[in-house]
Amino acid sequence: MIHPLENRYRTEIADIFEESSRINRMLQVELALAQAHVEQGTLTKNEYDLLFKSKSKVTVELVKEIEKETHHDTMALVEAFTRVSGCDKVHLGATSSDIVDSALALQLREANQVVLADLLILKNLLLSKAEETKNLVCIGRTHGQHAIPMTYGMKFALWAYEITDCLEELRRAKFYGKMSGAVGTFASFGEKGVQIQTKVLHDLGLSVPLITNQVVSRVFVAKYIFNLITIVSIIEKMAKEIRNLQRSEIQELAEPFAEKQTGSSTMPHKRNPILSENLCSLAKRVRTNILPALENISLEHERDLTNSANERIIIPETVILTHFMIKRITRIIVGLDLFPENIRKNVHIDPAIFMEKKMVELVTEQGLGRQEAYSRAKNFISKEKIDPEMYLGLSEQIVLKTIELLRSSE
């Protein structure tokens, strides 16, 4: 095995993109077309029954053997289906892309349901963590520097908010098939072409495009890949925060570390954030797939084949790796260790973090102008032990309101 998708990063979604699965979905589309022809009277019920009963006899091995002669994967499938069924009306009126694009839409729709289910688990986990830590005061950081106090609940709630937006995008995603023939004119289907396409796609549970050329517009494929890559980028954001907060000099939290796990082959004390680093590494790879997806939009004339080869790579790779990353970040969050003592200690490292509050007090209580108060506050260093909770503003309310709204959105 060369590609780590085959083992190291494989999830159950990979089964959807196996060659046998692809062929089965192409057969599913061919049968839906045959059923539509029965309704139009261009295929008999007996002929359809022959096709239906023989679909299991179309194997990957047979299709690949025929493809050696045809050098055309769809035509190899059509020939194989014709041979095993004895029906010579397979693929009637269709062009290859009618079958290939509709089969791809079936794969993406099924994979999307798996992604949605696990993304929802992640969202609810983040909301639970937000609720658990809504009062866990920590230092907020901007530009890598201490800013003012906040809570861990705000971190988890923000991540849940971003994930919820992605969930909504995936729920709205449409998976378009087509059955409009060469260049999309329905010429091979005659006057009943629109009805045939509508019937086929409705039976398959796919969205019906308003118009196509010989392929479904790659705008829709690129949009879906972009949605997945957005999820990947949010996961990277979470993983990067965990890595930074696990630094030796910060040590506010740590990702899970098994009892017999090894951090370093030479330094026994190391507890490296390898799961989070792995996610950041994968994010770099997955994001690159948006470039060919966008370039696939500009096919020549009514279509060319420059999208086909790279889509066999970028589509399954993006979907599988996104799913892997969702499952891995979920595992990290479930087993996340928080160290409250270090969190409290870090809040008090720099007393100057309370300057903002002092500036506002100088304006509201002593009547100074904002700019003068700003200048004076620069020199304010309190020698008293200050309770950071006095400086949290509406943190708890924001977290609780976010949790309430995001949970009610389901």
For residues 370-385, average pLDDT: 70
For residues 318-324, average pLDDT: 98
Write down the residue that tokens 């979470």 correspond to. 238
Looking at residue 246, its pLDDT comes to 96
Give the chain's domains with CATH numbers: 4-345 (1.20.200.10), 351-384 (no CATH)
Looking at residue 382, its pLDDT comes to 58
39 pLDDT above the threshold of 90: yes
Q: Which pTM does this prediction carry?
A: 0.92
Q: What DSSP string runs through 121-139? A: HHHHHHHHHHHHTTT-EEE
The residue type found at 134 is K
**Whole-number Cα distances in Å, 259 to 91, 225, 245:** 58, 38, 21
Looking at residue 360, its pLDDT comes to 80
Q: Identify whether 143 is a catalytic site residue.
A: yes
Q: Identify whether 188 is a catalytic site residue.
A: no
What burial class does residue 68 get, using C-beta atoms within 10 Å of its C-beta: 0-12 exposed, 13-18 middle, 19+ buried? Answer: exposed
Of residues 379 and 37, which shows the higher confidence score?
37
Give whichever of 4-8, 299-303, 387-391 has the largest mean pLDDT.
299-303
Average pLDDT along the chain: 92
DSSP bridge partners of 142? 145
Q: Please state, in angstroms and rounded to a whole number, the distance separating the CA atoms of residues 12 and 199.
A: 31
**Whole-number Cα distances in Å, 16 to 125, 225, 354:** 27, 17, 55
**Whole-number Cα distances in Å, 85 to 29, 55, 68, 91:** 16, 8, 21, 13
For residues 31-54, average pLDDT: 95
For residues 28-48, average pLDDT: 96
Looking at residue 2, its pLDDT comes to 84
Q: Please state, in angstroms and rounded to a whole number, the distance separating the CA atoms of residues 388 and 347.
A: 8
- How does residue 394 score in pLDDT terms, banded at 50, 70 and 90? confident
Write down the residue that tokens 């699965």 correspond to. 21
- How does residue 268 score in pLDDT terms, banded at 50, 70 and 90? low
C-alpha dihedral (400, 405, 408, 410), degrees to nearest 10: -120
Buried b (16+ CB within 10 A) or exposed e, 214-228: bbbbbebbbebbebb
Looking at residue 354, its pLDDT comes to 72
Question: Exactly one of 20, 56, 264, 375 is catalytic; which is it?
Answer: 264
For residues 208-229, average pLDDT: 97
79 pLDDT above the threshold of 70: yes
Looking at residue 181, its pLDDT comes to 95
274 pLDDT above the threshold of 70: yes
Q: Please state, in angstroms and rounded to a whole number, the distance separating the CA atoms of residues 36 and 199.
A: 6
Stated length of the chain: 410
Question: Exactly one of 143, 248, 301, 408 is catalytic; which is it?
Answer: 143
| pLDDT > 90 in the chain, percent | 80
- How does residue 393 score in pLDDT terms, banded at 50, 70 and 90? confident
Which sign does the torsion angle of CA 89, 92, 96, 99 carry?
negative
Q: Please state, in angstroms and rounded to a whole number, the distance separating the CA atoms of residues 184 and 163.
A: 37
